[in-house]
């Protein structure tokens, strides 16, 4: 046979076998697929039945649970209804009791009204009888009782005031004595008493002629350059310099001393010496101001303000050196602030600067308080310092503890015995004002200012004043003196009431 034919036959046979095998496999797979679908259908039906059974069981359990809850709710509602019924019965009983009580109260109220009418009738009869017996109407008796009560209350009030004042004064006096004594003992600054003139000693009387110069040109030059009056009289070996400006007077004194020492006295030399003296005094002024701030422990003070402060070294008030006084006020205010727990630095700084206006009040318009406030504000001082300067003479009300302490320290420094001296004119005016205040009250027989104005004695008419009224008069007079006068230290007010009883033996 031909080989290709054989191969073709074999190939056909193999293909036929493969096709038969594939058909058999397809049949087997189809049968298995049908069987699987049948099994799946059966499983689905079983699962559905099981789900239905589970759902019915869950539904039945939920139904039983709801039924149980329903039974419990009904039981609870039944119990609540039972309680409400009991409460309603109790409320009805209480309402009945309240009604019964109201009826009883109404009956008692009617009885009280009847008794009130009966008592009013009795009171009216008694009032009429009392008016007949006493000869006074009810209104007159009421007025008399009120007047007596008013008088009794006034006496009790004055007695309470006296007792409270005594207690307060006792406590405050002890504490204030302790604080002030401690403070004043710790601060004892010497006071320098000066006047408006300075005396320059001369080596001999011939020097007077050289100071006057030919046709008075030397003395005129010196007076013109310094603004000071030179008084050359018969006083041996002395020349008097007179000026209300202490700085100018000091410059003239220093220049004149230099001229006397140098011996060359003529207009050109006078001008040179005056200029040198002015430079030395300016330097001295700044040093004194700086020393004062260092002594007080005050830092950061403006240089111009320090220089102005130093000018107080040559300024006096009632004979008291103002710079020394300012240092004393600063120390006292600081120590008082320390005792009372206030700001020590503010108190010391305000105390040092409280009279700074006196450095310029002889050359500028305004009071030393206004000028001091302007200076402090211009050179950047704090509001607390400015307020303390402004309030230390009550130009404004002191609203900080430091301002009050500066005011108190100023009074302490100025009021110490010997710290200041008054001029005769001021002294007489103060005495006259004290007596004028006292005599302005009614019932004053006589008044005397004694002990150099430190005490005023008031003699009153005894028929117009009793003990309480005398005490009140003393308090009122002292208050008016405090409000209307300025004075160092304190003034005692003593009221004298003379009571005389006279009988005649027959």
399-451 pLDDT, tens per residue? 888 888 888 888 887 765 544 554 555 667 778 888 888 888 888 888 888 76
The answer to whether 334 and 356 are in contact (CB under 8 A) is no
On the question of pLDDT at 129 being above 60, the answer is yes
User: Quick check: is 364 in a domain?
Assistant: yes
Query: CATH number for the domain including 455?
Result: 3.30.300.30
User: Quick check: is 209 in a domain?
Assistant: yes
Please tell me the least confidently modeled range out of 128-132, 201-205, 438-442.
Answer: 128-132
Q: Do 379 and 281 belong together in one domain?
A: yes
Between CA 353 and CA 373 the distance in angstroms is: 10
Q: Tell me the H-state helices in 187-266.
A: 206-212, 217-226, 246-262
Between CA 269 and CA 218 the distance in angstroms is: 10
User: Quick check: is 505 in a domain?
Assistant: no
Question: Which structural domain range is residue 250 located in?
Answer: 197-415
Which of the listed residues 158, 186, 214 is the one where a domain comes to its end?
A: 186
The answer to whether 385 and 339 are in contact (CB under 8 A) is no
Residue 261 CA neighbour count, 13 Å, CB half: 8
Q: Do 400 and 274 belong together in one domain?
A: yes
Q: Are strands 238-242 and 229-231 parallel, antiparallel or unpaired?
A: antiparallel
Q: How many CB atoms lie within 10 A of CB 343?
A: 17
| Predicted local confidence at residue 64, as pLDDT | 87
Please tell me the least confidently modeled range out of 152-161, 201-210, 341-350.
Answer: 152-161
> Closest Cα partner for 457 from 469, 465, 448, 470?
448
| Average pLDDT for 94-110 | 89
Q: How many CB atoms lie within 10 A of CB 60?
A: 10
pTM: 0.48
Q: Do 370 and 477 belong together in one domain?
A: no
Number of domains in the chain: 3
Between CA 244 and CA 411 the distance in angstroms is: 25
Q: Do 385 and 263 belong together in one domain?
A: yes
Q: Do 440 and 411 belong together in one domain?
A: no
| Predicted local confidence at residue 193, as pLDDT | 36
Q: Do 383 and 431 belong together in one domain?
A: no
On the question of pLDDT at 506 being above 50, the answer is yes
User: Quick check: is 101 in a domain?
Assistant: no
User: Quick check: is 22 in a domain?
Assistant: no
User: Quick check: is 100 in a domain?
Assistant: no
Between CA 259 and CA 271 the distance in angstroms is: 10
Q: Do 283 and 398 belong together in one domain?
A: yes
Please tell me the least confidently modeled range out of 66-70, 261-265, 314-318.
Answer: 314-318
Please tell me the least confidently modeled range out of 129-138, 175-184, 236-245.
Answer: 175-184
| Predicted local confidence at residue 427, as pLDDT | 67
Q: Do 205 and 180 belong together in one domain?
A: no
Query: CATH number for the domain including 253?
Result: 3.30.1370.10
Which of the listed residues 415, 440, 463 is the one where a domain comes to its end?
A: 415
| Predicted local confidence at residue 188, as pLDDT | 46
User: Quick check: is 70 in a domain?
Assistant: no
3 vs 396, residue with greater confidence: 396
Q: Do 404 and 275 belong together in one domain?
A: yes
Q: Do 336 and 481 belong together in one domain?
A: no
Q: Are strands 492-497 and 455-460 parallel, antiparallel or unpaired?
A: parallel
Q: Do 297 and 385 belong together in one domain?
A: yes
CA 187 to each of CA 314, 421, 469: distance values in angstroms, whole numbers, following the listed order:
21, 20, 42
The answer to whether 333 and 403 are in contact (CB under 8 A) is no
User: Quick check: is 302 in a domain?
Assistant: yes
Which of the listed residues 123, 157, 186 is the one where a domain comes to its end?
A: 186
Q: Do 345 and 404 belong together in one domain?
A: yes
| Predicted local confidence at residue 189, as pLDDT | 45
């Amino acid at each position: 046979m031909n080989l290709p034919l054989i191969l073709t036959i074999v190939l056909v046979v193999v293909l036929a076998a493969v096709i038969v095998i594939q058909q058999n496999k397809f049949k087997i797979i189809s049968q298995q697929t049908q069987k699987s679908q049948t099994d799946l259908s059966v499983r689905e039906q079983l699962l559905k039945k099981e789900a239905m059974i589970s759902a019915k069981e869950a539904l039945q359990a939920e139904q039983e649970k709801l039924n149980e809850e329903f039974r419990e709710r009904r039981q609870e509602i039944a119990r609540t209804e039972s309680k409400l019924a009991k409460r309603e019965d109790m409320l009805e009983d209480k309402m009945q009791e309240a009604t019964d009580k109201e009826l009883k109260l109404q009956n008692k109220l009617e009885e009280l009204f009847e008794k009130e009418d009966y008592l009013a009738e009795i009171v009216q009869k008694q009032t009429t009888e009392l008016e007949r017996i006493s000869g006074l109407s009810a209104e007159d008796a009421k007025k008399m009782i009120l007047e007596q009560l008013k008088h009794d209350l006034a006496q009790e009030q004055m007695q309470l005031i006296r007792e409270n004042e005594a207690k307060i004064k006792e406590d405050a006096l002890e504490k204030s004595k302790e604080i002030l004594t401690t403070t004043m003992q710790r601060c004892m600054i010497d006071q320098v008493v000066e006047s408006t003139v300075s005396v320059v000693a001369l080596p001999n009387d011939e020097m007077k002629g050289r100071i006057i110069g030919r046709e008075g040109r030397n003395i005129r030059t010196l007076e013109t350059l310094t603004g000071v009056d030179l008084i050359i009289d018969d006083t041996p070996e002395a020349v008097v310099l007179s000026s209300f400006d202490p700085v100018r007077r000091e410059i003239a004194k220093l220049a004149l001393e230099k001229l006397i020492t140098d011996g060359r006295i003529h207009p050109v030399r006078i001008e040179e010496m005056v200029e040198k003296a002015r430079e030395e005094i300016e330097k001295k002024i700044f040093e004194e101001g700086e020393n004062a701030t260092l002594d007080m422990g005050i830092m950061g003070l403006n240089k111009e303000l320090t220089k102005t402060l130093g000018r107080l070294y040559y300024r006096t008030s009632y004979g008291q050196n103002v710079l020394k006084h300012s240092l004393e006020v600063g120390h006292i205010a600081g120590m008082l602030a320390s005792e009372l727990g206030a700001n020590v630095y503010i108190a010391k700084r305000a105390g040092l600067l409280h009279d700074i206006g006196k450095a310029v009040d002889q050359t500028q318009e305004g009071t030393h308080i206004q000028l001091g406030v302007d200076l402090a504000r211009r050179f950047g001082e704090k509001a607390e310092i400015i307020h303390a300067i402004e309030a230390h003479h009550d130009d404004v009300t002191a609203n900080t503890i430091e301002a009050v302490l500066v005011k108190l320290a100023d009074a302490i420094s100025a009021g110490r015995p010997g710290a200041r001296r008054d001029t005769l004119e001021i002294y007489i005016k103060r005495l006259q004002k004290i007596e004028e205040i006292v005599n302005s009250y009614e019932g004053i027989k006589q008044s005397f200012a004694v002990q150099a104005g430190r005490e005023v004695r008031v003699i009153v008419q005894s028929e117009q004043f009793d003990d309480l009224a005398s005490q009140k008069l003393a308090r009122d007079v002292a208050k008016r003196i405090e409000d209307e006068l300025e004075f160092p230290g304190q003034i005692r007010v003593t009221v004298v009431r003379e009571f005389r009883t006279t009988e005649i033996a027959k």
